[in-house]
Amino acid sequence: MKNIPKIILASKSPRRQELLRLMDMEFEVVLKEVDESYPDGLTPQEVAVYIARKKAEAFDKTVGDDEVVLTADTIVCVDGKILGKPETPAHAIEMLQTLSGKVHQVITGVCLLHKQRYNNFFDVSEVFFRKLSDQEIRSYVAEYNPLDKAGSYGIQERIGLIGIERINGSYTNVVGLPTEKLYAQLINLNK
């Protein structure tokens, strides 16, 4: 798109990359190691935006005026508790058992760094999981190895297809990038 600067995607997530491709966005993936810790006392929305901005700050001195750095962080929150990425398959099983039969929130914080300005925003989607059997959970974890996913699942994978009854909000937000909000922000960058 001619009004949108060159996008530097600071994410190794294949799901975010695929979403940008589906939006017909040209981008380059550039990765930098960033500590994803955050201070106590933040709301889940603030945590997602804080980490996304922290990722963008790693590019502060290297981004050109004709580029925009896109960073994001997706978290899953259930019963007021943030679930990160699982550390082991057993931890993934435990997380999915926690989500089973409940409603949880998926929050994606996004930061766009363009011309030394940070544009932060977030989106929240509610996800309704039916009660999953232990066999369904164990089978999913064994076959899909969801250790790189917040909350231990991908909505676009089998567990999402068989276990999610409905969502309120953006589907792409649950995948990992609220494309509707992102597009609106990108086309207004130079205004």
Helix (H) or strand (E) segment spanning residue 22: helix 14-22
Picking from 174, 180, 181, 179, the residue whose alpha carbon sits closest to that of residue 159 is 174
Sorted by sequence, the CB contacts under 8 Å of residue 36 that are 6+ apart come out as 51, 54, 55, 73
User: If you search the block for the tokens 């901005």, which residue do you land on?
Assistant: 53
Residue 2 has pLDDT above 90, yes or no: no
In a domain? residue 104:
yes
Q: What is the pLDDT of residues 100-113, one digit of tens each?
A: 999 999 999 999 99
Instruction: Report how many domains make up the chain.
Output: 1
Local structure of 27: helix, strand or coil:
strand
Q: What is the pLDDT of residues 126-155, one digit of tens each?
A: 999 999 999 999 999 999 989 989 999 999
The whole-chain average pLDDT of the chain stands at: 94
Gap between the Cα atoms of 114 and 165, Å rounded: 39
Residue 62 has pLDDT above 70, yes or no: yes
Q: Provide the pLDDT for residue 189.
A: 85
In a domain? residue 135:
yes
pLDDT band at residue 1 using 50, 70 and 90 as cut-offs: low
- Stretch 65-91: mean pLDDT: 94
Q: What is the pLDDT of residues 24-39, one digit of tens each?
A: 999 999 999 999 999 9
Which of the residue ranges 48-57, 87-96, 142-151 would you say has the lowest mean pLDDT? 142-151
- CATH number, domain at 37? 3.90.950.10
> Domain limits at 23?
6-187
For the entire predicted model, the pTM comes to 0.93
Centroid of chain to Cα 68: 18
- Residues annotated catalytic, as ranges: 73
Gap between the Cα atoms of 26 and 34, Å rounded: 24
Please answer whether residues 150 and 76 qualify as being in contact, where contact means their C-beta atoms are separated by less than 8 angstroms: yes
In a domain? residue 1:
no
Residue 54 has pLDDT above 90, yes or no: yes
- Stretch 56-79: mean pLDDT: 93
